[in-house]
Copies of this chain bind each other. A is one copy, B any other.
Amino acid sequence: MNETYQQESLFSAIADIQRRKILHLLQAGEMSVSEINQHFDFSGATLSHHLSILKKADLVRVRRQGQHRIYTLNMSAVEQLMLFMNKLFGAKEDEKQ
């Protein structure tokens, strides 16, 4: 079980509670940066930093819309993460493999 860089970046990405909150927010639907920011106390720069880490892990995708950037949750990265977790722990993972 050698981990790829991609897997490592996934685990680092979800290690922070603020980033997990961001991911959970996006689960309900896409959001602009300022909309996301309404749910947090920290500065916009800090949010930008967290978003860049989530982007690098490919957990979120961005598109531009005027002045705004719209972030969406990338479910295929989420699925990849869950698959890897199942392998890691040797879980059954509903008999699919």
Nearest-CB residue, chain B, relative to A78: B89
Q: Chain A interface mostly helix, strand, loop or mixed?
A: helix
Q: How large is the interface on A (under 10, 10 to 19, 20 to 34, 35 or more residues)?
A: 20 to 34
Residues of B within 8 Å of A86, CB to CB, are 82
Interface residue from B11, B73, B90 paired with A20 (Cβ < 8 Å): B11
Contact B88 A20 (CB under 8 A): yes
Contact A27 B73 (CB under 8 A): no
Residues of B within 8 Å of A91, CB to CB, are 78-79, 82
Interface residues of A (CB under 8 A from B): 1, 3, 8, 11-12, 14-15, 17, 20-21, 23-24, 27-28, 73, 75, 78-79, 81-82, 85-86, 88-91, 94
